[in-house]
Amino acid sequence: MSGEVALDVRDLHISFGGVKAVDGCSFEVPAATAVGLIGPNGAGKSTAIDLISGFQPPDAGQVHFHGTPLIGKSPHVISQLGLVRTFQSPREWGSLTVMDNVMLGLKAFDRERASLALFGLGKVKKQEDRDRVRVRELLDSFNLTAVKNLPASRLSGGQKRLVEFARIAAAAPRFVILDEPMGGVNPVLGERIGAAIKELVANGSTVMVVEHNLAFIDAVCDSVVVMAQGRVIAQGPYSSLRDNPEVVSAYLGEMDNV
């Protein structure tokens, strides 16, 4: 596991209506680490995430995930390969209960065949019940037991973020990309999220966190990739970036929580 490259991004390019959003973005993420992806607004971070996770085809470039090329594959195929991503706003399934939200995180794809709904439903339900025990533990570890039967739309923003993490934990992916997980989150919740990330890494997953909250990045991530104007301008441990003149000028005044 040490030394292995989980994600190898090479020279990604994409433009929208004449504007180059990602302009030759390249970086590597070592396995079983937590890596931060930071940069000023408009640097192309979220676009790069969309390109890596398959939600947007690039104009050029390649991405390798533990050796497997990702470009050209649909988002759900990439997810099945083990790369899960979140979105900037919590994307819970509002009309499902919290419990069902997390159950849907499990990699139980074969149980969801339409034919099984008619024949063999009993066996499927027994399999589900076995997983339900683990999911209850997960919900408990995120303090969601009290709301497990509520439709997810009724939760507060912070609770929705926790549901997302419970869902990720249920999916146990090899690689997780978190797109601004701290958006609208109070410090206590932030600590819980930080702990969740550390736990994911301890279990062998690789985590990439896109964030503006630099204190959080400093606390949680082993190294940081800095993007500006569609390109990676620096990569390395967070402490080394403070002295990097390119990084400082890219942020120019935005780095007040350093």
Partner 1 sequence: MTYLVTIVTEACIFSIMALGLNLIWGMSGDFDLGYYGYIALSTYLTIVLSDGPAQAPVQYVFGTSLPYPLSVLIATVVVVAVGAVVGAVALRGLREIYFALTTLGAVSALYIVVGVYTPLFNGFNGVSGLYNPMGTVLGIGYNGYHYFLLALSAVILVAVAWVVQRISGSPFGRLLRAVRDDEPAVAAYGRSVFWTKYKAYLIGVSFSGLAGGLFAAFLGSFNPTAWQPIEVLTLYAGVLVGGRGNVKGVIAGTFVVYIGFVELTRYLPNMPGHAEFAPALRQVLIGLLIILFLRFRPQGVFPERLGVDVGDSPGWATRLRRGPRTIKPELVGASVAEGDR
Partner 2 sequence: MHQFGLDVGVGFVTAAILALSAVAFTLEYAVSRVANLAHGELLTIGAFAAWLVQRDTGSVILAAASAAVIGGLAGVATNVFFIERFSRKPVLVTLIASLGLSLILQNVLVMIFGAATKSYKINQGAPHHYGPFVFTRAELLVMLSAVVVAIALYGLLQWTKFGRALRAVAENRDLARASGVPATRVITLTWLLAGVIAGFAGFVLAENVGAFSPSFGNSFLLITITATVAGGLGRPYGTLIGAVLVGLALELAGSYTNSSYELAIAFAMLVALMLLRPNGLLAGRGRLVRV
**Binding residues for partner 1 (CB under 8 A):** 53-55, 74-76, 79-80, 84-87, 91-97, 99-100, 103-105, 107-109, 111-114, 116-118, 121, 124-125, 128-129, 132-133, 136-137, 145-151, 167, 171
Pick what 242 binds: partner 1, partner 2, none; C-beta below 5 to 8 Å, kind-dependent: none
20 to 17, 112, 229: CA distances (angstroms): 8, 40, 8
Tell me whether residue 57 or residue 184 sits nearer to partner 2 (CB atom): 57
Pick what 53 binds: partner 2, partner 1, none; C-beta below 5 to 8 Å, kind-dependent: partner 1
Q: Residue 121 CB, nearest distance to partner 1 (Å)?
A: 6
Q: Which two tokens stand for residue 9?
A: 């991004």
How far apart CA 48 and CA 186 sit, in angstroms, is 27
Q: Where are the alpha helices (DSSP H) in 44-186?
A: 45-53, 75-81, 98-103, 114-118, 121-141, 157-171
Q: Residue 47 CB, nearest distance to partner 1 (Å)?
A: 15
How far apart CA 19 and CA 16 sit, in angstroms, is 5
Size of the site for partner 2 (CB under 8 A): 8
- Contacts with partner 2, 23-62, as mask; x by CB under 8 A: -------------------------------xxxx-----
Q: Please enumerate in sequence order all residues whose Cβ is within 8 A of that of 219, keeping only pairs 6 or more positions apart, or say none.
A: 194
Enclosing H/E stretch for 85 = strand 83-85
Q: Is 89 in the site for partner 2 (CB under 8 A)?
A: no
Interaction site with partner 2 (CB under 8 A) = 16, 54-57, 74-76
